[in-house]
Structure formats: C-alpha cells, structure tokens
Amino acid sequence: MLLLKEVEDVIQFIEKQKQTNKSIGFVPTMGALHKGHFSLLSQSKKENELTVCSIFVNPTQFNNQEDLNKYPKPLKEDLQCLAQSESCDLVFIPSIEEIYPDGTTLKKPFPLGNLENIFEGEHRPGHFQGVVQIVHKLLNIITPDNLYMGQKDYQQCLIIKRLIEIEKLHIRLVTCPIHREEDGLAFSSRNRRLTPSQRILAGLIYQCLVSIQAQKEQKDFSTVKKECLDLLQKKGFQPDYVALADAKNLSPMDNYEANHETIALIAASLGNIRLIDNLIL
C-alpha cells in the first residue's frame, strides 16, 4: 500500500496508472475506520484494478466546532488496519493546507437546490456545501471511474449525484448498503464516543426504523412517528427528525404511500453525539 500526502504526488501517480488503462475506484473517508468503510473498500477492490482511499477530516463540512474538535482521529491505527487488510492500493492523507492552500472559504456555492436545506441540511447549515467542496477537490485529484459512498449518508449520496451532474463528471457513483452492529446500530466513527450506557441505548434508532417499516400497513405515519419520538425522548435522545421521504429526491412525505419508493430517516443526539440512520421501506 502506497501512502501519499501531497496532491502533486497523487496526480503524478494516477497519471502513470491511467497510462495502463487501469480502472480506479475511490473511497473518500474521514478516518476512524470501521466495518462500513471496509465494505466500501472491498466493493471497490472487486470492481477496479486500483483502489484509492482518502482520510481527511474536512473542516468545512462541520457546522459545529466542538464536533470537529472531538471527531476521532486515530490515524496510526487506521493506516495499520488498511495495510494489514490490503484494502486499498493508495491511501491519501493530505493536510488541511494541502487541500485548501487558498483558505477554506468557498468562493461560489454549488447550486444544490432544496436538497441542501432539508433534513441534514436544515440541522447542519452549510454542511453539504462543505461536503461538495471537498468531494469535488478530491475527485479532481483522483479522477476515479467509480466512487463508493454509503447509503448510511443517503442525503450525501444524492448531493454527490447532483455534483456529478452539475460538473458533468464521467464518474459512476456506487451507493453501498449500510453495515450494522448486531443490535442494528449503523457503524459510524462517532460511535466510538458513546459511553457504554449510551452505546446500549443507541440501537433504539434502528429499532424505530424497523417499527416504521413494520407498521406501514397498519397505522398512519403520524401515529408511528409520535410513538418513535416519544420513545426516543423517554430514553434520553434529543431527536432532530423522524421522517418519511421520497427515496428518489428526499421530498418529505406526510404518510405511507403504496407503490412509492420511500425512505425512513432518523437523526437524534445522545448527549452531544449526533447519530443518523435510514431504511428504505
């Protein structure tokens, strides 16, 4: 596994690989790697001759300074796991200065439409502009054929799909399934920050998603939503939303609709740790 820190070195390496027509798969991450990340890498390995992983905790997508400061950054451990598992051919770990030599201010916002103002966008103002800013930069450096992202961040996948359309990039976006712990909690780098008692409670988010799915033919969504909100609050969560949306464009839906591809979404904090999850019904 090759490890590079500088943009120029990556560009040169990729150029060389492209001379032999190697297909390139790319998995952008913020590190604190877990099984979810490794599932993306393994899919890329299966489908490409070269797999690139980046680890970069992008400051511009954090709307909360404390969340950024406390974001886990076990770089040494991550690099060891990547090397031992032979999950990628190149790992790119740039510094902030390397990625943002002219500062982190976004010169011109990307036209993302209403998708950036709902759900995660509403609760994390500016988050998706930051995501698009970093992913756009990384895509220009790595120029992959295939980009692997997780359904766990469903709205992010739709936002990146939009970026690919806006910039007319020749990149295939592959949305990979959510990997979960035994109790259903979606793997997340933020899970490391949960205390043992919070960790036990955290599986409740997935249980709520499952109950939203199980009750779709029996009750109105407003009733199920209230049950979920009450239960989450009773157990000490601060829910931001429990919602249904059109899986194609995330337009919010008031109720279940038969024959309509629907996604259930939940965001809730335990203490100051914010967790998100979703389930396609």
Q: Give the active site residues.
A: 37
Least separation in angstroms between residue 106's CB and ligand AMP is 18
Q: How far apart are CA 141 and CA 56, in angstroms?
A: 14
List the one residue from 38, 187, 206, 241 that touches ligand AMP (CB under 6 A): 187
Taking CB under 6 A as the rule, does residue 189 contact ligand AMP?
Answer: yes
- Segment near ligand AMP (CB under 6 A), from 73-81, 119-127, 144-152, 254-262? 144-152
Q: Which distant-in-sequence residues (6+ apart) come within 8 Å of 230 by Cβ? A: none
| From 10, 14, 25, 37, residue interacting with ligand AMP (rule: CB under 6 A) | 37
Q: Which of 176, 205, 209, 212 binds ligand AMP (CB under 6 A)?
A: 176
Residues 6+ apart with CB under 8 A from 140: none
Query: Least distance (Å) from ligand AMP to the CB of residue 41?
Result: 9
30 or 245: CB nearest ligand AMP: 30
Taking the least distance from each CB to ligand AMP, the nearer of 178 and 266 is 178
**Contact call for residue 184 and ligand AMP (CB under 6 A):** no
Per rule CB under 6 A, is residue 179 in the interface with ligand AMP?
yes
Burial 156-187 (b: 16+ CB within 10 A, else e): bbbbbebbbeeeebebeebbbebbbbeebbbb
Three-class SS of 152-207: HHHHHHHHHHHHHHHCCCCCEEEEECCCECCCCCECCHHHHHCCHHHHHHHCHHHH
40 binds ligand AMP, rule: CB under 6 A: yes
